[in-house]
């Protein structure tokens, strides 16, 4: 049977034509409305004036005492009689009323100033003078930046906020400025941050081809969004929320009693993920534990979670004994046993998946359920292991990190900046998704993310605020959803109940299988196609 062609309305060209026609129709309607407004403007003005005159007459009549309303009516009647008897009186009266209505109906809104006022001009001139040492060249015959020069040539667009500070600025700079040098760009960005106004977040967009720098003030990210079920699919984890201009997706969230759409930073894991593992860095109190709790609550919807807490502060005690939580280890022996089991489980999954593929079968059911390994502060266990003469637990993460994507195993490691040197090479190489939370120096952020962010940090950084970068993608501003420890006394009742509602019910936690004393060799050969598997009774009889 011949394949029927798709209808024309479903083709790409037809859709493009339809969008073009729709845009053209909107433009025609807008033009017609503007033309009608211009034609009817005198009538609109006269009608507005008549309404204002009538309202003034009613107010005058209401303000007139009752004992004087009779003489006033007699005076008005005499006036109308005189107008009626005078030649061309009615015509002159109508013309006079129309002229008065046109005068009173005029637009009295003061025109907006075309340029900046005196204070704004001084601020722009100060910015221009501050940029002269960075953008001026000694051999430039016609310098764009010079002391005492005109800022109008350098600043092509500018906007101010209500407080008089710069809100948006487009800066031209000479072509010989090394805009490809990160240090040169960082110096200019730091200067603009100081001169344009402290305490705000700025976004810097460098246009190397057009030799323009766009500076925009960013609105603060909402820091009071509580933990809640997110509308995501399997393999998708919401790390936090970012600016609407950075992502093309929004999530419906409950914000108090309202329903709002917030753009998220979605991290995709699984077999087809290019960033299967994550590394989070920050200072104490920056919200690293909050991020791991948020990830654990989302991972428990579709998989199993193993938590290794090197801090030992009980930040994850609320997850102990919950369905899907394999273990929450806070001591070195338990951490070593759990991570050794995780490495063996990763190998077991790889072998099972490989045998199923050789036999032409789908992966087994016990390998499809995702396994999450959350490790908080592994440097603490590394120090304890070195003291006791044991192996570093990070060495047990090499197998899940290297082969976790194929085995549906995801590793999340969180560490503080003061112990960053203790991270192993496997953690640094295989964690392509990166998060930096809290107040951090630009050099520290660049070291973790690989590139410097195009935005600045606010003066006061709330917990869970930072930057995120997935693989080689752009750097996003990030605000982690508020997911505090429900067992903490400082947690409010609203946040505590929000986290407790997301916790799975308590059940019998699965204990990690102990490491075998002697590993048996695994047969990776595929059985012959014509050989049927032996029944269980025969296998038992042979044993």
- Angle formed at CA 417 by CA 416 and CA 423, multiple of 5 degrees: 75
Residue 154 makes CB contacts below 8 A (sequence gap 6+) with: 128, 131, 135, 144, 145, 171, 172, 173
Residues 407 and 269: beta-carbon distance below 8 Å:
no
Contact (Cβ atoms closer than 8 angstroms) between residue 235 and residue 276:
no
HEC-encoded secondary structure of 351-372: HHHHHHHHCCCCCCHHHHCCEE
CA distance 401 to 411: 7
- In the annotated binding site, the residues are 282-289
Q: Tally Cβ neighbours within 10 Å of residue 54.
A: 11
Q: How would you class 167 by CB atoms within 10 Å of its CB: exposed for 0-12, middle for 13-18, buried for 19 or more?
A: middle
- Name the binding residues for ATP: 282-289
Say if residues 170 and 217 touch (Cβ distance below 8 Å). Answer: no
Residues in the chain: 543
Task: Compute the chain's Rg from CA coordinates.
Answer: 36
C-alpha triplet 355, 515, 324: angle, nearest 5°: 75
Nearest CA-CA partner of 121 in 132, 129, 131, 110: 129
């Amino acid at each position: 049977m011949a394949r029927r062609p798709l209808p024309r309305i479903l083709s790409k060209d037809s859709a493009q034509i339809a969008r073009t026609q729709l845009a053209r129709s909107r433009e025609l309607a807008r033009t017609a409305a503007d033309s009608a407004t211009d034609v009817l403007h005198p009538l609109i003005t006269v009608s507005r004036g008549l309404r204002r005159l009538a309202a003034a007459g009613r107010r005058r009549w209401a303000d007139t005492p009752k004992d004087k309303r009779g003489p006033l009516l007699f005076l008005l009647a005499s006036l109308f009689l005189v107008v009626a008897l005078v030649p061309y009186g009615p015509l002159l009266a109508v013309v006079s009323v129309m002229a008065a209505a046109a005068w009173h109906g005029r637009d009295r809104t003061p025109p907006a100033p075309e340029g900046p006022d005196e204070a704004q001009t001084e601020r722009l001139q100060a910015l221009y003078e501050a940029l002269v040492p960075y953008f001026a060249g000694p051999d430039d015959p016609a310098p764009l930046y010079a002391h005492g020069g005109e800022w109008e040539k350098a600043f092509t667009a500018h906007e101010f906020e209500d407080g008089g500070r710069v809100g948006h600025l487009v800066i031209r700079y000479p072509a010989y400025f090394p805009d490809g040098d990160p240090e040169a760009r960082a110096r200019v960005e730091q200067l603009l941050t100081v001169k344009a106004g402290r305490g705000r977040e700025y976004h810097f967009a460098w246009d190397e081809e057009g030799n323009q720098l766009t500076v925009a003030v960013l609105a603060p990210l909402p820091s009071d969004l509580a933990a809640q079920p997110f509308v995501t699919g399997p393999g998708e984890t919401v790390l936090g929320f970012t600016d609407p201009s950075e992502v093309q997706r929004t999530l419906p969230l409950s914000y108090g009693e309202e329903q709002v759409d917030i753009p998220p930073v979605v991290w995709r894991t699984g077999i087809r993920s290019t960033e299967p593992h994550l590394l989070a860095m920050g200072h104490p109190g920056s919200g690293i534990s909050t991020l791991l709790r948020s990830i654990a609550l989302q991972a428990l919807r579709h998989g199993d979670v193993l938590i290794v807490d090197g801090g030992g502060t009980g930040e994850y005690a609320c997850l102990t004994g919950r369905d899907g939580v394999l273990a929450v280890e806070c001591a070195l022996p338990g951490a070593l046993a759990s991570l050794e089991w995780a490495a063996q489980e990763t190998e077991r999954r790889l072998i099972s998946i490989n045998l199923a593929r050789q036999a032409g079968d789908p992966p087994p059911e016990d390998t499809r359920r995702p396994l999450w390994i959350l490790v908080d502060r592994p440097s603490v266990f590394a120090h304890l292991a070195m003291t006791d003469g044991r192996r570093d637990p990070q060495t047990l993460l090499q197998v899940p990190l290297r082969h976790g994507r194929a085995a549906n195993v995801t590793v999340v490691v969180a560490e503080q900046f003061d112990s960053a040197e203790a991270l192993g090479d496997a953690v640094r190489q295989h964690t392509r998704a990166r998060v930096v939370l809290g107040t951090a120096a630009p050099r520290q952020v660049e070291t973790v993310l690989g590139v410097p962010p195009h935005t600045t940090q606010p003066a006061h950084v709330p917990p869970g605020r930072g930057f995120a970068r997935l693989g080689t993608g752009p750097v996003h501003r990030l605000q982690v959803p508020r997911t505090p420890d429900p067992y903490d006394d400082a947690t409010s009742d609203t946040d505590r109940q929000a986290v407790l509602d997301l916790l799975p019910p308590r059940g019998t936690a699965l204990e990690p299988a102990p490491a075998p004393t002697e590993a048996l060799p695994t047969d990776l050969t595929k059985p012959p196609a014509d050989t049927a598997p032996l029944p269980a009774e025969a296998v038992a009889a042979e044993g």
